[in-house]
Structure 1
Amino acid sequence: MASSFSASWLRGDPRALEFLSDRFRHRAARAEAVAAAASRPLAPALHEVLVARNARLAPSPARERNLELLARPGTTAVVTGQQVGLFLGPLFTVYKAASAIAAARALAEETGRPCVPVFWLQTEDHDLPEIDHCFVPRNAGGPLRVALELPDAATSRAPVAHRHLGPSITGALAALRAELSGNPHADEHLALLERAYRPEATLVEAFADVLSSLFADEGLVFLDPRDPRLAPLAAPIHRRAIEEAAAICSKLAERGQALAQAGFSEQVHIRPGAPLNFFSPGGPEGARYRLDPTSTPGTWSLVGHPEGASVTTAELLSWLEREPLRFTTSALLRPILQDTWLPTAAYVGGPGEIAYFAQLAPLYAHAGLPMPLVVPRARFRVIDDRARRLLDKLGLSPDDANAPRDELLARLAARDAGEAFETPEAVEARLVSAFASELARLGERMAAIDPTFAQAISRTDKTVRRGVSRLAARYGRSITQRDQTTLERVERLRAYLAPDGAPQERIHALPYYASRLGSHAFLRLVREACEPFSGNLKDLKP
């Protein structure tokens, strides 16, 4: 099984550092990255669009100052981004924003050069099922799933930039209010959501409205790559991706092979000879398709097109000239577009994005761009009063909640019963060990008499091990069910701290915490806990 690249990289594993430097840890390397970014000023045309786009957001003198700074030569940027999930999606969205703000401030203090935090709205994707919902923890049971009712979500291939919320947002907001209304700050946060999330608004508009309001004092700047005024500025990147697809894919494939040999897998699969962009044959708001080379030179198939359509290079380049908004980037091309447009000193990303960058060195070299610092976002686990009470009652630490449910329950039952009960693992190990010892003795005695007896022993060993494993599992279930109160507390604790065994920050959404603690109070807690250039998991204890 391939290792997690991001986990290995954060540990400083030399195998991972061969593919992605940890320059973010070293002050001198950070200064070099800032100096390199400062030599690439923002294009006036891009700055004009940024000013106009950000003027539509929540008022923010700090954002206006940052936009003014971006117009000046020598200003750099720290960039982060995320898909525009419902009600901001998982908690790590705000952790990313806070991390970019903290990193920009730290780089400015270290180098004396202005550095601006920029949030890249990932609006080119078409994966609606990934963003049309959010999860809210509840006092009992698993988290509440709050979702839009979009019948075509699973089949839609249009960029999410053009998706309106529609009438089902009213029901989603009502479900949220019904669940959270008893919390002290629910009215404040829900009012913010209700102002932004209106049926006529797009997912992007609502997402940007809320996030810009929450980070107005920090001056977070927003960039939407689907703004029609930016399409001509993206056209040269798309042209090169099409015309040089074979060479680019060859280099990326070599990188992928090297990653595999080092024990890692590609985060993004490379399709031989395929450009790293998508094309929407029906227009900018229509379905987008990957391009695959066909057996006819200069002709590309539209992967997944219901009619198996194809397009020639000449046609693509003609559309790129006339209507560049028909083209969108893939996950690997997006950073190149980002760092062509922006004076990026650092990119703040999560585990998946860190793994992207492990693949990207050949593409940056091909584009003639310096790779920015790659900085891990802050990682937090919120241990609020409800979780603390459960931890105290169970006598557990927060890390214990990450253990599998049955294992944790068995451990608690064994602990509470003193010596009365062994853990299921101990029972299984003891029974298997005793049987294996006797079986080995029998095998030795029979080896000289019947050479084929070893086969019977092997079959019996496998059969008995399976039986013992089933017996131990049943034993474990029996002792865990003996205390229903403990069972309920463990399930509630895991639902708060490790829902479905996943990190809290990847499942839970902001509304629960904002409603209990207050939007700005919770984000102040996050900002104050952010350690630039760390990436370590920290507990927040409001």
Structure 2
Amino acid sequence: MKTEPYYIEPNQPLTNDYLNRFERVKDLYDFNPWDDHSSSERLEWLEKNSHLKVNRADLSACLKYYNQKIGNTESAFQNIESLKEKETLVVVGGQQAGLFSGPLLTIYKVVTIIKQAREASSKLNRTVVPVFWIAGEDHDLDEVNHIQYLSSDMKLKKFKIEASEQTKAPISDLKFHLDEWKKALGIIDEELIETEFKKGIMDRLDTIVETSDTLVDVFAKMMIWLFGHSGLILLDSNDAMLRQLEVPMFDKMIKQNALLNETIIHGKEQVESLGYVPQADMNELQSNLFYIHQRERLLLKRTNQGIYTDKNHKVLFSEEELIQELKSHPERFSNNVFTRPLMQEYLLPVWSTVLGPSEIAYWGLLKASFHLFDMKLPIIQPRFEYTILESTIQKHMNKYDLTLEDVTDHFKDKKKEWLVGQDEVNIEQQFKQVKESFENLYEPILSTVENINPGLLKLGLTNKQKIIDQISFLEKRSINAFESQHDASIRQLDRIGLSIKPIEKPQERVYNIVTYVNKYGFDWLQTLIEQPIEEKNIHSIIYLP
């Protein structure tokens, strides 16, 4: 396996400037990741403000309990133990618990976290451990309950699993029948090609689902399978023991709720003043907190009278009542997209956080929110991005003289251009000329019948359209016959497009890792982790043999 840098411009203008023209966005962030001075500044801040964090011994105990429950590795427990020491820092990032690890981008985020933790350990000459934050408190099951894959007949297919109950409970709380997991494994087994790795993969997946109740359980155990040897610490944002540690921060968020939201609105205005579009919705009465009521995660808003309620008024709290509820039932509280970064900063000794393109953009709203609670935005490091190029796809691209840019940016045009080049009789042009000639010949007839009887004009127009439709029908059949002569080439071209940019999305946002480890094993993934970090090299091509 080899990799090489390949520049792809982020689709978020703010993120693009963060990566390439930081001076334009420097007022939105506390640290410049491209400036060596940021390391000493962040380190100094952490050392002076360690009292703002949760107690390290309590944090270590909480993480140890959860990681024992999911069966993490000895190297992970060594890292958890090291968190008791005041010098230990973390590199952290998070994602939703996608089905069987979710799309490739989640894998690449973990790879980035592990690599950046190793790099920071070397640079700072102290222990820096990798932590992955599973967003188990999220409740949008439809975002995480499916896998898309390229079938053997070159179709992009999708399968999903159904929870035992239909509710908006946090994903961590949703149970799935074993039969549902077995059905999913049956589909995977049927679709995976036979390789030397397949049996081991299927056996491992079978063991994982046999010992799991929830999507988060399966996700966590897959992360251990893939990355446990790297000492990756896992954290479920919906963990009840963790929620106990979060009570003081939730208390602050409630007591300063109006000010908190004002800082977020201020961040929005600041982002807009620089010419960017904010990456998250907000309004003046949002509380930025969720409350779990009867297994349903409700987004709370704060009325002008200071009452906290949801949009359907299923719950109603004064500030005092909400704080009392927090103390009695912390497990009923949950963060939103704006408060989760604040909670992460409170819980962990964060050296840096790894974010995707959209996350970098919306974290640009939060500088004043962090400052409200005497915290600073950590160093933000972009997630590494990769595009896998299999050898078969490389050969097809060479055959049709296609570059990666051709496939990612102009594929439909390039495919059509190739087909036109094979059409020696110029089918489309001939039929176009026939239609134009027919319309020119038919126009005098329409004038004649209209002069004879104006009522015949409608019949004449209908007759004209029927004839054009028949010509178009013959044109379509002719094109189909032409394309059938080039069916093998068209399938090869389609395979290129579907492999690299399926449904007009980057490969990493669609496909799952299981297909690739089934074909190529796990060594290439370990190679990614071991490769040194190249400054500002965010995107690379992975060439697989």
- Give TM-score scaled by structure 2 length: 0.82
Question: How does 1:418-457 map onto structure 2 within 5 Å?
Answer: none
Counterpart amino acid of residue 96 in structure 1: K
- Assess if the C-alpha contact under 8 Å between 1:63 and 1:221 holds in 2: yes
Aligned partner of 2:394 among 388, 392, 405: 388
Given the superposition, is the C-alpha separation of residues 75 and 99 from structure 1 closer, same or farther in structure 2, using an over 3 Å criterion?
Answer: same
Q: 1:242 deviation in Å?
A: 2.0
Q: Does the residue aligned with 2:310 lie in a helix, a strand or coil?
A: strand
Q: Which has the larger radius of gyration?
A: 2
SS of the aligned residue for 1:23 comes to coil
Aligned counterparts, 1:226-375, within 5 A: 226-282=238-294, 286-295=295-304, 297-303=305-311, 305=312, 308-375=314-381
Distance in 1 (CA, whole Å) between partners of 2:214 and 2:70 is 14
Is structure 2 residue 87 aligned with structure 1 residue 79?
Answer: no
Q: How big is the shift at 1:184?
A: 3.1
Distance, in Å, in 2 between the alignment partners of 1:311 and 1:198 is 41
State the Cα distance separating 1:516 from its structure 2 match: 0.6
Unaligned 5+ segments in structure 1 are: 428-470
Q: Is the 8 A contact 1:95 1:526 kept in 2?
A: no
- RMSD, aligned α-carbons: 2.8
Aligned ranges 1:102-181 → 2 under 5 Å: 102-150=115-163, 156-166=167-177, 167-181=179-193
Q: SS in structure 1 opposite 2:92?
A: strand
Specify whether residues 31 and 195 from structure 1 end up closer, same or farther in structure 2 by C-alpha distance, changes over 3 A only.
farther
Checking the alignment, whether the CA contact within 8 Å between 2:352 and 2:381 is kept in structure 1 is: yes
The range that moved more, 408-417 or 362-371, is 408-417
Q: Is the 8 A contact 2:101 2:223 kept in 1?
A: yes
* Aligned residue among 216, 221, 236 for 1:209: 221
Q: How does 1:361-510 map to 2 (within 5 A)?
A: 361-413=367-419, 481=483, 483-510=486-513
The reply to whether residue 30 of structure 1 matches residue 42 of structure 2 is no
Equivalent residues, number? 483
Distance 1:311 1:142, change over 3 A: farther
Identity of aligned residues (%): 22
- CA–CA separation in structure 1 for the residues paired with 2:60 and 2:211: 30
Q: Is the 8 A contact 1:404 1:501 kept in 2?
A: no
Aligned equivalents of 1:340, 1:22: Cα separation in 2? 18
Q: CA deviation at 1:255?
A: 1.6
AA in 1 matched with 2:139: H
1:45 is aligned to 2:58? yes
Q: Secondary structure at the match of 1:165?
A: coil
CA contact (8 A) 2:30 2:377 kept: no
Offset, 1:323: 0.6
* 1:88 counterpart = 2:101: yes
Residue identity matched to 1:362: A
Normalised by the size of structure 1, how large is the TM-score? 0.82
Q: Which amino acid aligns with 2:490?
A: L
What is the SS of the residue equivalent to 2:354?
strand
CA distance in 2, matches of 1:19, 1:228: 33
2:525 paired residue number: 523
Write the distance in 2 (CA, Å) between the matches of 1:151 and 1:393.
49
Cα gap change, 1:4 to 1:190, in 2 (>3 Å): farther
Give the C-alpha shift of residue 119 in structure 1.
0.7
Q: 2-side partners of 1:505 and 1:529: how far apart?
A: 19
| Shift in Å, 1:92 | 1.2
CA deviation vs aligned residue, 1:378-397 (integer Å, no higher than 9, x gap): 10001112322321332212
| 2:543 matched residue in structure 1 | 541
Are residues 513 and 96 of structure 1, via their aligned partners in 2, closer, same or farther at CA, if it must alter by over 3 Å?
same
Please report how far the alpha carbon of residue 280 of structure 1 lies from its aligned counterpart in structure 2 after TM superposition.
1.4
C-alpha distance after superposition, 1:213-251 (max 9, x if no partner): 211221011112322222222112222222222112122
Report the secondary structure of 1:280's partner residue.
strand
Conserved 8 A contact 2:353-2:378: yes
Structure 1, residues 29-74: CA drift from partner, whole Å, max 9, x if none?
Answer: 1233234335527521111111122223445232122122211111
1: distance between equivalents of 2:30 and 2:402? Answer: 37
Q: Distance in 2 between matches of 1:402 and 1:22?
A: 33
Kindly provide the amino acid, as one letter, of the partner of residue 82 in structure 1.
Q
Where does structure 2 lack aligned partners over 5 or more consecutive residues? 1-10, 433-471
- Secondary structure in 2 matching 1:232: helix
Helix, strand or coil: the match of 1:495?
A: helix
Secondary structure of the residue aligned to 2:131 is strand
Distance 1:393 1:131, change over 3 A: same
Partner of 1:458: none
Distance 1:503 1:102, change over 3 A: same
- Structure-2 residue corresponding to 1:11: 20
In structure 2, the CA distance between the partners of 1:21 and 1:178, relative to structure 1 (3 Å rule), is same
Amino acid at match of 2:308: W
**Helix, strand or coil at the partner of 2:286:** coil
